Amino acid sequence: MAPAAVEASLETPNINETLNDHRDGLALEATSDNIDQVNVLKAALKVKQGTATQEEKDIYEKSEFDAEKDKTQFRQYEEACDRVKNFYREQHEKQTVAYNLKIRNDIKSKT
């Protein structure tokens, strides 16, 4: 890693910056969708400039396997049954570095 990159990665975080500290799945999905849109635009620009690889050209072609599915029915978290809501809640609670390290240490300590 270049020295400038190392220095940049050691910057002190802005502790005065307001953070969205509540877990909002819909906001996360919207952010993810926006990132996807930017990536599509970047790929289209590469294609237009003639600098895209074949893999980059192929990745954004329409998929045939789910072409007939109604995409508006995806990600309907609020309307899910309690079993599904509890599953996602549990998975989100366990998708942390602290939880992952704890489980790894627990498993390693057993014979």
pLDDT digit string, tens, across residues 27-46: 888 888 999 999 888 888 88
Q: Are 43 and 52 in contact (CB under 8 A)?
A: yes
With residue 42 as reference, give the H or E element that holds it: helix 25-49
Tens-digit pLDDT profile for residues 48-62: 898 988 887 777 677
With residue 26 as reference, give the H or E element that holds it: helix 25-49
Tens-digit pLDDT profile for residues 11-31: 565 556 555 555 667 788 888
Cα 84 from Cα 76, distance rounded (Å) = 11
Tens-digit pLDDT profile for residues 59-109: 767 778 888 888 888 878 788 899 988 998 888 888 888 888 888 899 988
